[in-house]
Amino acid sequence: MDQQTAVFKDKKTQKKLNTPLETQLSEENQKFLDFVLGLIKKGKIVLYQPDTLINREVYVKLDEEAQGKVDMEAVNLLAAIREMQGLHESGNQNSYQMENLVERVRNTKERLEKSADLFII
């Protein structure tokens, strides 16, 4: 076994390599994260039911094609929200990964909602 292979087998080194780099979330992203995590805790967002993200009052007024697009985006957003919750629960809430993920979800939501509040987040 060469020296480089030995370094990667060391448990302390592996743990350090697998730990996300720390940073503080922006105030806007922290508020958004807290809001989303609060909705999960209250049971308003169910992590494996994308329809729980959808604002039904707006959704029912859309045509079938628009509803299909909202359905697909809800699946994608919910997958990212599950990832956000996983990072938070693992103690990595102040990481670049979380900052990037929250920013991406928030920007996606804002982009999709230019004409109406399609989602409850």
pLDDT by residue (tens digit) across 76-90?
A: 999 999 999 999 999
- pLDDT, tens digit, 9 for 90 and up, residues 56-66: 999 999 999 99
Q: Indicate if the pLDDT at residue 16 is higher than 70.
A: no
Neighbours of 96 (CB within 10 A): 13
Q: State which residues form the domain around 89.
A: 48-121
b/e per residue 4-35 (b: at least 16 CB within 10 A): eeeeeeeeeeeeeeeebeeeebeeebbebbee
Comparing 96 with 23, which gets the higher pLDDT?
96
- The answer to whether residue 24 is domain-embedded is no
- The answer to whether residue 100 is domain-embedded is yes
- The answer to whether residue 57 is domain-embedded is yes
- The answer to whether residue 18 is domain-embedded is no
54 and 38 Cβ atoms separated by less than 8 Å: no
In this prediction, residue 13 carries a pLDDT of 72
- The answer to whether residue 96 is domain-embedded is yes
The pTM of this model reads 0.81
Count: domains in the chain? 1
In this prediction, residue 80 carries a pLDDT of 97
Q: What is the CA radius of gyration of the chain?
A: 18
Q: How far apart are CA 70 and CA 119, in angstroms?
A: 9
- The answer to whether residue 42 is domain-embedded is no
